Amino acid sequence: MKFAASVIALATSAAACPGSDSFIHAKCSLSGKYDFSFETNASGGCDVSACSESQVMSVLDYSTNYCNLHSLYCNSADGCPTTGTDLTYRETFNSCKQHDASACTPNSASSFLSDVVAPATAAATGALRGSVKGDECKTVTTAPNFDLEAYITGRWYIQQQAETAYLPKEQNWCVYAEYERMDKKSFWGYEVQVHNYAQEEDGTPHDSGDKICAASADDSDAAKLEVSLCLLPKLTAGPYWVLEYNEAEGYALVSGGQPTIDTGDGCKSGSGTNNSGLWVFTRGQERDDALVEKVRGLAKDQGFDLSVLRDVDQSAC
Protein backbone atom coordinates (compact mmCIF):
# COMPACT_ATOMS: atom_id res chain seq x y z
CA MET A 1 0.00 0.00 0.00
CA LYS A 2 1.32 3.43 -0.93
CA PHE A 3 0.59 6.69 0.79
CA ALA A 4 0.94 10.08 -0.88
CA ALA A 5 2.67 12.54 1.40
CA SER A 6 4.07 16.05 1.35
CA VAL A 7 6.98 17.08 3.56
CA ILE A 8 7.94 20.73 3.39
CA ALA A 9 10.03 23.23 5.30
CA LEU A 10 8.71 26.73 5.81
CA ALA A 11 10.59 29.85 6.87
CA THR A 12 8.37 32.76 7.89
CA SER A 13 8.69 36.32 9.08
CA ALA A 14 6.43 35.67 12.06
CA ALA A 15 7.64 37.43 15.18
CA ALA A 16 7.43 34.29 17.27
CA CYS A 17 6.71 30.61 16.98
CA PRO A 18 4.02 28.90 19.09
CA GLY A 19 6.97 27.75 21.21
CA SER A 20 10.53 26.70 20.56
CA ASP A 21 10.62 23.07 19.47
CA SER A 22 6.83 22.88 19.68
CA PHE A 23 5.15 19.97 17.91
CA ILE A 24 1.56 19.60 16.77
CA HIS A 25 -0.01 16.38 15.50
CA ALA A 26 -3.49 16.10 14.05
CA LYS A 27 -5.50 13.43 12.29
CA CYS A 28 -8.52 14.63 10.33
CA SER A 29 -11.23 12.03 9.68
CA LEU A 30 -9.81 8.99 7.90
CA SER A 31 -8.13 10.74 5.03
CA GLY A 32 -5.18 12.71 6.33
CA LYS A 33 -2.60 13.08 9.07
CA TYR A 34 -0.74 16.35 9.63
CA ASP A 35 2.40 17.05 11.64
CA PHE A 36 3.91 20.46 12.37
CA SER A 37 7.05 21.35 14.32
CA PHE A 38 8.01 24.95 15.12
CA GLU A 39 11.38 26.46 15.96
CA THR A 40 12.49 30.08 16.20
CA ASN A 41 15.29 30.75 13.72
CA ALA A 42 18.40 32.91 14.07
CA SER A 43 16.80 35.90 12.34
CA GLY A 44 13.87 35.94 14.74
CA GLY A 45 11.42 34.34 12.36
CA CYS A 46 9.82 30.95 12.63
CA ASP A 47 10.90 27.72 10.93
CA VAL A 48 8.12 25.21 10.41
CA SER A 49 8.56 21.61 9.32
CA ALA A 50 5.29 20.13 8.17
CA CYS A 51 4.04 16.85 6.80
CA SER A 52 0.68 15.78 5.40
CA GLU A 53 0.17 12.08 4.72
CA SER A 54 -2.85 10.35 3.22
CA GLN A 55 -4.28 7.61 5.41
CA VAL A 56 -5.87 5.76 2.55
CA MET A 57 -4.23 4.11 -0.44
CA SER A 58 -2.92 6.85 -2.70
CA VAL A 59 -0.25 6.90 -5.37
CA LEU A 60 -0.85 10.33 -6.93
CA ASP A 61 -2.65 12.99 -4.92
CA TYR A 62 -2.68 15.89 -7.43
CA SER A 63 -1.17 18.22 -4.80
CA THR A 64 -3.85 17.43 -2.20
CA ASN A 65 -1.39 16.83 0.66
CA TYR A 66 0.60 19.90 -0.30
CA CYS A 67 -2.58 21.99 -0.36
CA ASN A 68 -3.55 20.64 3.07
CA LEU A 69 -0.49 22.45 4.38
CA HIS A 70 -0.15 25.38 1.98
CA SER A 71 -3.75 26.51 2.51
CA LEU A 72 -3.05 27.13 6.20
CA TYR A 73 -0.47 29.87 5.60
CA CYS A 74 -0.89 31.16 2.04
CA ASN A 75 -1.46 34.89 1.69
CA SER A 76 -3.47 37.30 -0.44
CA ALA A 77 -0.79 37.30 -3.13
CA ASP A 78 -1.53 33.59 -3.56
CA GLY A 79 -5.24 34.33 -3.98
CA CYS A 80 -6.08 33.21 -0.44
CA PRO A 81 -8.46 35.19 1.80
CA THR A 82 -6.93 36.53 4.99
CA THR A 83 -8.41 37.81 8.23
CA GLY A 84 -5.30 39.60 9.43
CA THR A 85 -1.78 40.46 8.37
CA ASP A 86 -0.37 38.53 5.42
CA LEU A 87 2.31 36.00 6.31
CA THR A 88 5.59 36.34 4.43
CA TYR A 89 7.08 32.90 3.89
CA ARG A 90 9.50 30.80 1.84
CA GLU A 91 8.86 27.13 1.07
CA THR A 92 11.36 24.34 0.47
CA PHE A 93 10.34 20.79 -0.38
CA ASN A 94 11.97 17.78 1.23
CA SER A 95 9.61 15.10 -0.05
CA CYS A 96 6.81 16.60 -2.07
CA LYS A 97 6.75 15.64 -5.73
CA GLN A 98 3.39 17.28 -6.42
CA HIS A 99 3.18 20.83 -5.13
CA ASP A 100 1.10 22.91 -7.53
CA ALA A 101 -0.02 25.99 -5.60
CA SER A 102 -2.59 26.82 -8.28
CA ALA A 103 -4.48 23.67 -7.28
CA CYS A 104 -4.98 25.11 -3.79
CA THR A 105 -6.81 28.26 -4.83
CA PRO A 106 -9.63 28.98 -7.27
CA ASN A 107 -7.58 30.77 -9.90
CA SER A 108 -9.03 28.59 -12.67
CA ALA A 109 -12.66 29.22 -11.74
CA SER A 110 -14.61 31.64 -13.88
CA SER A 111 -18.11 32.39 -12.76
CA PHE A 112 -18.67 30.69 -9.46
CA LEU A 113 -17.32 31.65 -6.15
CA SER A 114 -15.72 29.07 -5.43
CA ASP A 115 -12.72 27.62 -4.38
CA VAL A 116 -11.05 28.72 -1.06
CA VAL A 117 -9.33 28.16 2.19
CA ALA A 118 -11.15 30.18 4.83
CA PRO A 119 -14.16 32.43 4.38
CA ALA A 120 -13.76 35.92 5.72
CA THR A 121 -16.72 37.60 7.33
CA ALA A 122 -18.09 40.67 5.59
CA ALA A 123 -16.66 42.93 8.25
CA ALA A 124 -13.23 41.35 8.08
CA THR A 125 -13.21 41.52 4.30
CA GLY A 126 -14.08 45.18 4.33
CA ALA A 127 -11.51 45.98 7.00
CA LEU A 128 -8.82 44.54 4.76
CA ARG A 129 -9.98 45.94 1.43
CA GLY A 130 -11.68 49.24 2.18
CA SER A 131 -14.30 50.97 4.25
CA VAL A 132 -17.31 48.89 5.19
CA LYS A 133 -20.62 50.57 5.81
CA GLY A 134 -22.79 47.48 5.97
CA ASP A 135 -25.60 49.28 7.82
CA GLU A 136 -25.96 51.67 4.86
CA CYS A 137 -26.25 48.88 2.29
CA LYS A 138 -29.67 47.65 1.33
CA THR A 139 -30.34 44.05 2.34
CA VAL A 140 -30.60 42.04 -0.85
CA THR A 141 -33.38 39.54 -1.45
CA THR A 142 -33.10 36.19 -3.19
CA ALA A 143 -35.27 34.78 -5.98
CA PRO A 144 -38.63 33.66 -4.54
CA ASN A 145 -39.74 30.05 -4.98
CA PHE A 146 -36.34 29.20 -6.37
CA ASP A 147 -36.19 25.89 -8.25
CA LEU A 148 -32.61 24.60 -8.16
CA GLU A 149 -33.36 21.66 -10.44
CA ALA A 150 -34.62 23.97 -13.18
CA TYR A 151 -31.74 26.38 -12.62
CA ILE A 152 -29.06 23.74 -13.19
CA THR A 153 -30.65 22.10 -16.24
CA GLY A 154 -28.74 24.10 -18.82
CA ARG A 155 -25.67 26.19 -19.44
CA TRP A 156 -25.53 29.82 -18.32
CA TYR A 157 -23.58 32.39 -20.31
CA ILE A 158 -22.12 35.31 -18.40
CA GLN A 159 -22.76 38.66 -20.10
CA GLN A 160 -21.34 40.89 -17.37
CA GLN A 161 -19.35 40.20 -14.22
CA ALA A 162 -17.45 41.98 -11.47
CA GLU A 163 -13.70 41.52 -11.30
CA THR A 164 -12.43 39.36 -8.43
CA ALA A 165 -9.14 37.74 -7.45
CA TYR A 166 -10.04 34.62 -9.41
CA LEU A 167 -11.90 36.40 -12.23
CA PRO A 168 -9.51 39.06 -13.61
CA LYS A 169 -10.75 41.22 -16.46
CA GLU A 170 -8.21 39.52 -18.73
CA GLN A 171 -10.51 36.47 -18.72
CA ASN A 172 -13.70 38.21 -19.86
CA TRP A 173 -14.17 36.17 -23.02
CA CYS A 174 -16.53 33.23 -23.67
CA VAL A 175 -17.37 32.79 -20.00
CA TYR A 176 -19.97 30.22 -19.05
CA ALA A 177 -21.06 28.12 -16.09
CA GLU A 178 -22.86 24.81 -15.92
CA TYR A 179 -23.99 22.66 -13.05
CA GLU A 180 -24.93 19.03 -12.52
CA ARG A 181 -26.62 17.30 -9.61
CA MET A 182 -24.38 14.62 -8.08
CA ASP A 183 -25.65 11.06 -7.75
CA LYS A 184 -25.02 11.35 -4.03
CA LYS A 185 -23.56 13.90 -1.67
CA SER A 186 -19.79 14.06 -1.50
CA PHE A 187 -17.76 13.32 1.62
CA TRP A 188 -18.02 17.00 2.62
CA GLY A 189 -21.73 17.20 1.79
CA TYR A 190 -21.60 18.90 -1.61
CA GLU A 191 -24.56 18.20 -3.89
CA VAL A 192 -23.79 19.97 -7.18
CA GLN A 193 -20.81 19.68 -9.50
CA VAL A 194 -19.77 23.06 -10.90
CA HIS A 195 -17.98 23.62 -14.21
CA ASN A 196 -16.72 27.07 -15.13
CA TYR A 197 -14.98 28.16 -18.31
CA ALA A 198 -13.40 31.40 -19.51
CA GLN A 199 -10.91 32.57 -22.13
CA GLU A 200 -8.44 35.35 -22.55
CA GLU A 201 -8.62 37.53 -25.65
CA ASP A 202 -6.02 35.40 -27.44
CA GLY A 203 -8.05 32.25 -26.77
CA THR A 204 -6.07 30.97 -23.77
CA PRO A 205 -8.59 28.79 -21.88
CA HIS A 206 -9.27 28.68 -18.14
CA ASP A 207 -11.29 25.58 -17.32
CA SER A 208 -12.20 24.61 -13.75
CA GLY A 209 -12.75 20.96 -14.69
CA ASP A 210 -14.35 19.05 -11.84
CA LYS A 211 -12.60 20.89 -9.00
CA ILE A 212 -15.55 23.00 -7.82
CA CYS A 213 -18.64 21.89 -5.89
CA ALA A 214 -21.70 23.56 -4.41
CA ALA A 215 -24.18 22.85 -1.63
CA SER A 216 -27.24 24.43 -0.09
CA ALA A 217 -26.29 27.07 2.47
CA ASP A 218 -29.71 27.72 4.01
CA ASP A 219 -32.42 25.11 4.51
CA SER A 220 -35.03 27.85 4.50
CA ASP A 221 -33.80 29.54 1.29
CA ALA A 222 -32.99 27.33 -1.71
CA ALA A 223 -31.51 30.31 -3.60
CA LYS A 224 -28.63 30.59 -1.13
CA LEU A 225 -25.82 28.23 -2.06
CA GLU A 226 -22.19 27.94 -1.02
CA VAL A 227 -19.24 26.97 -3.19
CA SER A 228 -15.71 25.73 -2.67
CA LEU A 229 -13.12 23.35 -4.00
CA CYS A 230 -14.59 19.86 -3.81
CA LEU A 231 -11.67 18.60 -1.74
CA LEU A 232 -12.19 21.19 1.00
CA PRO A 233 -14.84 21.14 3.76
CA LYS A 234 -17.90 23.38 3.50
CA LEU A 235 -16.61 25.68 6.23
CA THR A 236 -14.26 27.07 3.54
CA ALA A 237 -17.10 27.75 1.09
CA GLY A 238 -18.16 31.19 -0.09
CA PRO A 239 -21.72 32.42 -0.68
CA TYR A 240 -23.41 32.13 -4.07
CA TRP A 241 -26.84 33.73 -3.96
CA VAL A 242 -29.31 33.74 -6.83
CA LEU A 243 -31.04 37.10 -6.38
CA GLU A 244 -33.11 37.17 -9.57
CA TYR A 245 -34.11 34.26 -11.79
CA ASN A 246 -36.59 33.87 -14.63
CA GLU A 247 -36.30 30.68 -16.65
CA ALA A 248 -38.94 31.75 -19.17
CA GLU A 249 -37.04 34.93 -20.01
CA GLY A 250 -33.67 33.23 -19.61
CA TYR A 251 -31.83 35.38 -17.07
CA ALA A 252 -30.37 35.29 -13.58
CA LEU A 253 -28.57 37.72 -11.29
CA VAL A 254 -26.03 36.09 -8.98
CA SER A 255 -24.14 37.67 -6.10
CA GLY A 256 -21.35 36.52 -3.83
CA GLY A 257 -23.50 37.22 -0.79
CA GLN A 258 -24.63 40.47 0.79
CA PRO A 259 -22.78 43.57 -0.49
CA THR A 260 -21.26 45.53 2.39
CA ILE A 261 -19.09 48.27 0.89
CA ASP A 262 -20.89 51.57 0.23
CA THR A 263 -19.30 53.30 -2.76
CA GLY A 264 -21.59 56.32 -2.72
CA ASP A 265 -23.36 55.02 -5.83
CA GLY A 266 -24.68 51.83 -4.35
CA CYS A 267 -22.94 48.93 -2.66
CA LYS A 268 -20.53 46.23 -3.71
CA SER A 269 -18.94 43.16 -2.20
CA GLY A 270 -15.21 42.51 -1.91
CA SER A 271 -12.81 41.68 -4.72
CA GLY A 272 -11.08 38.69 -3.16
CA THR A 273 -12.30 35.11 -3.17
CA ASN A 274 -15.22 34.64 -0.80
CA ASN A 275 -17.91 37.28 -0.27
CA SER A 276 -17.20 38.79 -3.65
CA GLY A 277 -18.57 38.90 -7.18
CA LEU A 278 -21.66 39.89 -9.16
CA TRP A 279 -22.85 38.24 -12.38
CA VAL A 280 -25.44 38.74 -15.13
CA PHE A 281 -26.38 35.32 -16.54
CA THR A 282 -28.41 34.55 -19.66
CA ARG A 283 -29.41 31.25 -21.21
CA GLY A 284 -28.56 32.47 -24.69
CA GLN A 285 -24.94 33.06 -25.62
CA GLU A 286 -25.66 35.84 -28.10
CA ARG A 287 -25.93 39.11 -26.23
CA ASP A 288 -29.41 40.56 -25.85
CA ASP A 289 -28.82 44.18 -24.82
CA ALA A 290 -32.40 44.71 -23.69
CA LEU A 291 -32.26 41.64 -21.45
CA VAL A 292 -28.89 42.61 -20.02
CA GLU A 293 -30.21 46.09 -19.22
CA LYS A 294 -33.22 44.55 -17.53
CA VAL A 295 -31.03 42.46 -15.23
CA ARG A 296 -28.82 45.47 -14.55
CA GLY A 297 -31.93 47.36 -13.53
CA LEU A 298 -32.84 44.56 -11.12
CA ALA A 299 -29.32 44.75 -9.67
CA LYS A 300 -29.70 48.51 -9.24
CA ASP A 301 -33.00 47.98 -7.46
CA GLN A 302 -31.22 45.59 -5.10
CA GLY A 303 -28.82 48.41 -4.21
CA PHE A 304 -25.73 47.41 -6.20
CA ASP A 305 -23.17 49.80 -7.65
CA LEU A 306 -23.33 48.83 -11.34
CA SER A 307 -19.91 50.29 -12.13
CA VAL A 308 -18.32 47.01 -10.95
CA LEU A 309 -19.87 45.09 -13.86
CA ARG A 310 -17.67 44.55 -16.91
CA ASP A 311 -18.82 43.20 -20.26
CA VAL A 312 -17.97 39.65 -21.28
CA ASP A 313 -17.34 39.14 -25.00
CA GLN A 314 -19.35 36.14 -26.25
CA SER A 315 -19.13 37.08 -29.94
CA ALA A 316 -16.38 34.80 -31.24
CA CYS A 317 -16.62 31.73 -29.07
Total domains in the chain come to 2
Range picked from 28-37, 111-120, 302-311 for highest mean pLDDT: 302-311
Alpha helices in the chain (DSSP H): 64-70, 122-129, 148-151, 289-301
| Res. 208: pLDDT tops 50 | yes
Claim to verify: residue 152 and residue 86 sit in the same structural domain: no
Confidence of residue 130 (pLDDT cuts 50, 70, 90): very low
At 131-169, the pLDDT tens digits run 444 468 999 999 999 999 999 999 999 999 999 988 899
- Residue-range definition of the domain harbouring residue 135: 122-311
Indicate if the pLDDT at residue 233 is higher than 60: yes
**Residue 155 falls inside a structural domain:** yes
- The residue-averaged pLDDT of 81-89 equals 71
59-68, 121-130, 295-304, range with greatest mean pLDDT: 295-304
Quick: pLDDT tens for 249-266: 999 999 999 999 999 999
CB 206 within 8 A of CB 260: no
Question: What is the phi/psi pair of residue 217, to 5°?
Answer: -105, -10
Same-domain pairing of 99 and 241: no
Residues 43 and 140 in one domain: no
**Is residue 210 in some structural domain?**
yes
Answer yes or no: is 117 within a domain.
no
- Among the candidates 103, 131, 159, a domain finishes at 103
Residues 130 and 196 in one domain: yes
Q: What is the pLDDT of residue 45?
A: 79
> Is there a single domain that holds both residue 301 and residue 175?
yes
How high is the pLDDT of residue 308? 97
- Residues 160 and 276 placed together within one structural domain of the fold: yes
Whether 206 and 155 share a structural domain: yes
Taking residues 202-216, report their average pLDDT: 96
Residues of the chain above pLDDT 90, percent: 54
Kindly state whether residue 316 falls inside one of the protein's structural domains: no
**Are 91 and 158 part of one and the same domain?**
no
Residue 126 has pLDDT above 60, yes or no: no
Task: Quote the pLDDT of residue 119.
Answer: 38
- Residue finishing a domain among 53, 75, 103: 103
| Domain presence at residue 84 | yes
Residue 114 lies in a domain: no
Residue 112 lies in a domain: no
Flag whether pLDDT at 294 surpasses 80: yes
Q: Is residue 50 part of a domain?
A: yes
- The verdict on 90 and 194 lying in the same domain is no
% of the chain at pLDDT higher than 70? 74
23 with 142, same domain: the answer is no
Pair (159, 294) in one structural domain: yes
The domain spanning residue 248 has which CATH number? 2.40.128.20
pLDDT of residue 1: 26
The string of pLDDT tens digits covering residues 24-83 is 444 444 445 667 777 787 877 787 887 877 655 444 556 777 777 777 778 877 777 766
Q: What is the largest CA-CA distance in the chain?
A: 66
Q: Which of 58, 73, 103 is the last residue of a domain?
A: 103
Residues 52-78 as b/e (b if ≥16 CB within 10 A, e otherwise) read: bbbeeebeebebbbbbbbbbbbbeeeb
Beta strands in 150-300 (DSSP E): 156-162, 173-181, 192-199, 205-207, 212-216, 224-229, 238-246, 251-255, 261-262, 267-268, 278-282
pLDDT for 315: 96
Q: Inform me whether the pLDDT recorded for 174 exceeds 50.
A: yes
Whether 122 has a pLDDT exceeding 50, the answer reads: no
Q: Is residue 247 located within the same domain as residue 129?
A: yes
